[in-house]
Amino acid sequence: MLKFLSILGLIVMIAGLVGLLKIGVLFSPQPVTIVLQVLALALLVWARITFGRRSFHAAANPTEGGLVTSGPYHYIRHPIYTAACLFCWASIITHLSLISVAFGLMVFLGSITRMLTEERLVQERYPQYLEYSKKTKRMLPGVF
């Protein structure tokens, strides 16, 4: 059931991103948006490099190689989902409308679904995840 929910979360995230792209608000010429999106991409790249050669799975399957707690994972547990949300919301703020917010919520809720299911699956495989999760927040250091 958790793997199904994680796939559903991914589909909702992708649908939100595609929706933002279709209505023309995923990218913006606004300097603030550009800066935030570049920061989001930098976080994503930093997280992928830190995560290493592990592959991406549609279902939130824990990967071999141990728990990653360095790089951006030292500060937040889900830097890739954080980067995706930051990228989207940076543009939504400069193109604020009900439809853009709705698509942004899809990305955020899909990310939350992925995070929660992934955390349960990772904790089953790596018992030390519980201790790690007590020291780090999901997306925003010190807050959430």
pLDDT tens per residue across all 144 residues of the chain: 999 999 999 999 999 999 999 999 999 999 999 999 999 999 999 999 998 877 777 888 788 888 999 999 999 999 999 999 999 999 999 999 999 999 999 999 999 999 999 999 999 999 999 999 999 999 998 888
Q: Is residue 131 in a domain?
A: yes
Q: Is residue 88 in a domain?
A: yes
Total Cβ atoms within 10 A of residue 93: 16
Bridge partners (DSSP) of residue 137 are: 76
pTM of the complete model: 0.93
Q: Is residue 14 in a domain?
A: yes
Total Cβ atoms within 10 A of residue 45: 13
CB 17 within 8 A of CB 26: yes
CB 85 within 8 A of CB 17: no
Total domains in the chain come to 1
